[in-house]
Structure 1
Amino acid sequence: MAYHHSSVDDEEDTSAGIPRRYAWIVFALTFGLLISDYMSRQVLNAVFPILKIEWALSDSQLGLLSGIVALMVGLLTFPLSLMADRFGRVKSLALMAMLWSLATLGCALAENYQHMLIARFMVGVGEAAYGSVGIAVVVSVFPKSMRATLASAFMAGGLFGSVLGIALGGAIAAKLGWRWSFASMALFGLVLAVLYPLVVKEARIAPQRLASFRNKGKTVLKRPLRTLYSTRSVIGAYVGSGLQMFVTGSLIVWMPSYLNRYYAMGEAKAGSVAAIMVLCCGAGAIMCGMLSDRLCRQSPLRKIEISIAYCLGSCLLLSLALILPAGPVQLVLIGMGMLVVAGTNGTCAAMVANLTHYSVHGTAFATLTLANNLLGLAPGPFFTGRVSDVIGLHGALQWMPLMSIAAAAVFFYTRHHYLNDVDRAKVQDAVDAPCKPACEVLS
């Protein structure tokens, strides 16, 4: 799963003159497309068992079908987000949705593994920048006092979409066949892709100051852009988050197959139980974020210490679960592990925001998305599948939580530099303050 942040400076209110009812319509449609994004991405996991038998695929081949989407999201989120700012966010979002929906329809029509791989590649291209551009649209139409709440709610759409994709995909596959699982997700996305630009208009949501940024921002943003990589702590936040996402992504992708093989569940039931696990992951991410905010008010270092605790806690719970035989106790422990495995999402996002210049927060979170995908969501499912081909899926999942120890080690290193790096970022903000009027927008 990928998380993004507003690219609009928190001191600016870009919602002036936008009726509240229209703002909520924009939110609903943008949120709906985000759900479609993740439904199209995760429906594949529900039909892994069917494809494995029908096309005689190895687990590494199945893992690549999932990982190719995350790989393209990681590689393209940065450049496509910048292009969306230049050519128009609404037009870009509609084109992205049309592309991933048509590609998902291509999955339904695939005749062999190679066709499916190409279609999944195009799904990744279409979805690459939706999260970062979509959240920029959402926060631009609401008052600044609502941005944090709306950003959290919007990001939860990815988890809801994952749940629906896995649960509905499994149920539809059991009733109508796996091709209709993909086709139904594609039709939902196509309808929203056509409706979106008819209702959401660029002229009503784009701040007038964007034109000024496009003309002047390239020069004045040169120094703030350096904050994306200028401290050891911000690089540690990227790397630690990506390594922990290796575990999260592997669990979400392979859980339906694990339930199918070791609990003898059909596709529909396995999809439903896996969806509950994903809900645990989403609910846990929100609760862990709230707990982090509450505990870190007086001590900035606690963000990192809590991140270490989430990594080690998830490793312990999942390792204990996976040394047990299949049964209710194992499922409970896996669910408990899922509650904390994504806890670092919020803490890492906060660290990145604290360590980068306000004018490049959108680009900073695209960089975080890049790390999450290239270090975690893309390689995690693929390498887990590769190991599964050698020692079985259960054995592969037993090794997978150990990546959390590597993530904890990175956060431990980051802890020793964090306070000095935050102070350095504050000094840089003060130095760059005169350029603020010209560089207030970047996504």
Structure 2
Amino acid sequence: MDIHCTQPASCGSNAVMATSRKYAWIVFALTFGLLLSDYMSRQVLNAVFPLLKQAWGLSDTQLGSLSGVVALMVGLLTFPLSVLADRWGRVRSLVLMASLWSLATLGCAVATSYGEMLVARACVGLGEAAYGSVGIALILSIFPSHMRSTLTGAFMAGGAFGSVLGMALGGFVAVHFGWRASFGAMAIFGIVLVIAYRLVVSDKRIAARYADVQSTAQQHAAGMRTNLRTLLAGLFSTISVVCAYVGSGVQLFIMGAVIAWMPSFLNRYYAMPADKAAAGAAVFVLLGGIGMVGCGVVTDRICRNAPSRKWLTALAYCLISLVLLSIGFRLQPGALQLVLLGAGILVVAGTSGPAGAMVANLTPPAIHASAFATLTLANNLLGLAPGPLVTGAIADRIGLSGALQLIPFVSVAAMLAFAIGRSRYARDLDRIDTLRGRAAKQPI
């Protein structure tokens, strides 16, 4: 027996651990940076909505489709591309994805018509489709398990922070240098990060530093490939996990609509020029990102000794956002309206943390990457993709203000899903624990 396995680590192994930990944080920083580029490229469009509408005479439905097509592509492709990334290599896949969305964003800068812009935006969505699920799977594989909640919350909130940068910087550049320059700036930022990522991070370096983790991940991936039926059974094994997917996606319908249309709302009803409207909207998006982190922290504190309470916190966030946003959008433009809207947006995406925790609790650890890909699919197909498009279609008929007054009531459907999930959670968790116990007793 090797007695060193039970002894304190030597100075040499401490040095190796310190080096691995430092490299893990470098990987996190670069992966997070590309996530910022992801959402900067996605949301810069919203900052130039007023300029595009004026330049090409587009309807609100067309503008909404340019925003929604990205989320639609993400929703359709995140799961299959996540599975392919496990086959081909996560780091290589991330580099390819980031290269594609950066070049597609450059294509947006040279588009000469709505049709060309729509194709370029679809390619942006193709590049971004699996980045979130593959990126978080890579990050979680190289950090200790006790840091998963913190890392997941920070990574998910990065989308909001990237949206802030994309809208604020995009609006500033558009006013001073034209809307094409806004897309160009986002593309250059992404290309520079891709080069840095390719030079520093590779699948071989990850495998060399975290051999045990990579071996386990490969075994899980192999099992998933050889038994698709088992994978799907694990992803949709209970009613409560399906409710978590649905509730999260439906609630993000509101977030997607508000992110896309807030610059136009401020431009039309507060007479703000495009750059100031984009900067003002960026503040609201920043509140949404802060709320995702803050609501996650609050949920963990409240539910530390009773995980089932996470369903109640999700219901509370839905109800609070419904009340604040529905009242806020009905008020006349002014300080009170902005305060209520800011408070509503602070909690509107607060369901992301509880929903993610429920998905993790209700699916086997071996398929968590696929589970988060499924959650991403639901978030995009049910929420982020249709939100801007539906809002634009309604706005063409009753005006943007009227459309935004109706959108918060989508929370009622999310609340219904979370309520059903809560009612089934205890028995579903018992069923999963029983199945896991039986699997553990099976001979290896």
For residues 154-303 of structure 1, what are the structure 2 equivalents within 5 Å? Answer: 154-206=155-207, 207-213=214-220, 215-219=222-226, 222-223=229-230, 225-303=232-310
How far apart, CA to CA, are the structure 2 residues paired with 1:18 and 1:211?
23
Matching residue of 2:323: 316
Deviations 1:323-357 (A, max 9, x none): 11111110000000011101110111111111111
Per mean C-alpha deviation after superposition, the further-off stretch among 147-156 and 55-64 is 147-156
- Indicate conservation of the 8 Å contact 2:224/2:230, yes or no: no
The CA RMSD measured in Å over matched residues stands at 1.8
The residue that corresponds to 1:339 in the other structure is 346
Question: Could you tell me whether the CA contact under 8 Å between 1:63 and 1:384 is conserved in 2?
Answer: yes
Distance 1:208 1:18, change over 3 A: farther
Match of 1:141, as an amino acid?
Answer: I
Distance across 2 between alignment mates of 1:264 and 1:339: 24
Matched, 1:386 2:393: yes
CA distance in 1 between counterparts of 2:442 and 2:18 reads: 26
Using a 3 Å threshold, how does the CA distance of structure 1 residues 27 and 431 change in structure 2: closer, same or farther?
same
Question: What letter is aligned with 2:344?
Answer: G
In 1, the alpha carbon distance for the partners of 2:223 and 2:322 equals 48
- Report what 1:47 is aligned to: 48
Give, in angstroms, the shift of residue 436 of structure 1. 11
**2:115 — aligned with what?**
114
SS in 2 for 1:259: helix
**Rg (Cα) greater in structure:** 2
User: Which secondary structure state, in structure 2, belongs to the residue aligned with residue 403 of structure 1?
Assistant: helix
- Of stretches 204-213 and 51-60 in structure 1, the one that deviates more from structure 2 is 204-213
Q: Decide whether the 8 Å contact of 1:137 with 1:205 is kept in 2.
A: no
1:147 is matched with 148
Asked if 2 retains the 8 angstrom alpha-carbon contact of 1:66 and 1:253, the reply is yes
Give the structure 2 partner of residue 410 of structure 1.
Answer: 417
Q: What amino acid sits opposite 1:195 in the alignment?
A: A
Distance 1:264 1:157 in 2: 30
Stretches of structure 2 lacking an aligned partner (at least 5 in a row): 1-15, 208-213
Query: Partner of 1:19: helix, strand, or coil?
Result: helix
Residue 326 of structure 1 corresponds to 333
Structure 2 distance, partners of 1:49, 1:172, is 14
| SS of structure 1 residue aligned to 2:235 | coil
TM-score (structure 2 length as normaliser): 0.91
52 and 436 in structure 1: CA distance in 2 versus 1, 3 angstrom threshold: farther
Q: CA deviation at 1:278?
A: 0.7
* Residues in 1 aligned to 2:342 and 2:221: alpha-carbon distance in whole angstroms: 47
User: What letter matches 1:238 in structure 2?
Assistant: Y
Distance in 2 separating the partners of 1:278 and 1:313: 17
The 2-side partners of 1:287 and 1:421 are apart by 28
Contact 1:170–1:181 (CA under 8 A) maintained in structure 2 = yes
**1:399-438 residue pairs with structure 2 within 5 A?**
399-433=406-440
Tell me the number of residue pairs that the alignment of Structure 1 and Structure 2 aligns.
423
Q: 1:108 to 1:236 in 2, by over 3 A?
A: same
Rounded to whole Å, the distance in 2 between the matches of 1:346 and 1:362 is: 16
Deviations for 1:210-260, whole angstroms, at most 9, x for unmatched residues? 454455554467435412112111111111111101111101110000000
Question: Can you list the C-alpha shifts for 1:416-435, whole angstroms capped at 9, x where unaligned?
Answer: 21111111111122223368
**Any conservation in 1 of the 2:98–2:194 contact (CA below 8 Å)?**
yes
Aligned residue identity for 2:32: F
Whole-Å Cα distance in 2 between the matches of residues 327 and 216 of structure 1? 57
The amino acid of 2:361's aligned partner reads N
Match of 1:11 in 2: none
> Residue 19 of structure 1: CA displacement?
2.4
Distance in 2 (alpha carbons) for counterparts of 1:430 and 1:83: 30
Aligned residue among 347, 353, 357 for 2:360: 353
> Residue 275 and residue 434 in structure 1: after superposition, are their counterparts in 2 closer, same or farther (change >3 A)?
farther
Amino acid at match of 2:84: M
Aligned counterparts of 1:257 and 1:170: Cα–Cα separation in 2: 12
Answer 1 or 2: higher relative contact order, Cα 8 Å, separation at least 6: 1
Alpha-carbon distance in structure 1 between the residues aligned to 2:305 and 2:45:
44
Give the letter aligned to residue 290 of structure 2.
Answer: A
Identity %: 59
- Structure 1 CA distance, aligned partners of 2:79 and 2:264? 32
Deviates more, 1:15-24 or 1:48-57: 15-24
In the other structure, the counterpart of 2:89 is 88
Distance between the aligned counterparts of 2:169 and 2:437, measured in 1? 51
Q: Which residue of 1 aligns with 2:11?
A: none
8 A Cα contact 2:314 2:350, kept in partner: yes
Q: Does the 8 A contact of 1:46 with 1:170 survive in 2? A: yes
Q: Which letter maps to 1:89?
A: R
Counterpart Cα distance in 1 of 2:441 and 2:280: 54
- The structure carrying a bigger helix percent of its residues is 2
Contact 2:240 2:421 (C-alpha < 8 Å) held by counterparts: yes
